[in-house]
Amino acid sequence: MSIPVPRTRNAMIKDSPDHHDADLVLRLYDLRREPVLRESRRWLSAEFWPKSAEEVLALTKADHPSNAMFRQVVGYWEMAYGLARHGIVNPDYLAENAGEGIFLFAKVQPWLTELRAASSPKSLRNTEWISTQCEEGRELFAYFRQRVEKALAARRGA
């Protein structure tokens, strides 16, 4: 006997967090502390400030020195935000406690079409989802886009 599957994603999204959500978010936090992932996250947050599609696409090339860091961090956040997109964890709770991936998305979003054309049409789809389809994610994304624009403007003036 087959179990009916909801036809809309919204039917699967958890309305409110519970202790299982808290456990998953704490486990995600523990994973973020792994030394190589921590260094990769630090580089993408602090040193990676793309000003063009070419700078983003360069990271997708296997011979780029930061390719592994980019893949590791994007893969981590895609896994984490996929938990919300698939109804495993409440998306607002996850975004509230794990917004760093949304910050990275704010840095590359202007060139998302080019990134998907060069790598995969599904690239960053979970991160895009949490950044556009849940209230907390939308608020964080808007805040981070402003922060990225301000930082890029400061770098242009420096």
pLDDT of residue 157: 79
pLDDT digits (tens, 9 = 90+) for 110-133: 999 999 999 999 999 999 999 999
Q: Name every residue whose Cβ is closer than 8 Å to that of residue 15 and which is 6 or more positions away in sequence.
A: 90
Place of tokens 């909801």: 6
Determine the average pLDDT of the residues in 57-76: 96
Reported confidence tier of residue 158, pLDDT bands at 50, 70, 90: low
Half-sphere exposure of 124 (CA within 13 A, CB side): 28
pLDDT of residue 132: 97
* Calpha distance 150→92 (Å, rounded): 26
Determine the average pLDDT of the residues in 148-155: 92
pLDDT of residue 146: 97
Determine the average pLDDT of the residues in 68-84: 97
Region of residue 32 (phi > 0: left; psi between -120 and 50: alpha; otherwise: beta): alpha
pLDDT digits (tens, 9 = 90+) for 1-57: 333 333 344 447 788 898 999 999 999 999 999 999 999 999 999 999 999 999 999
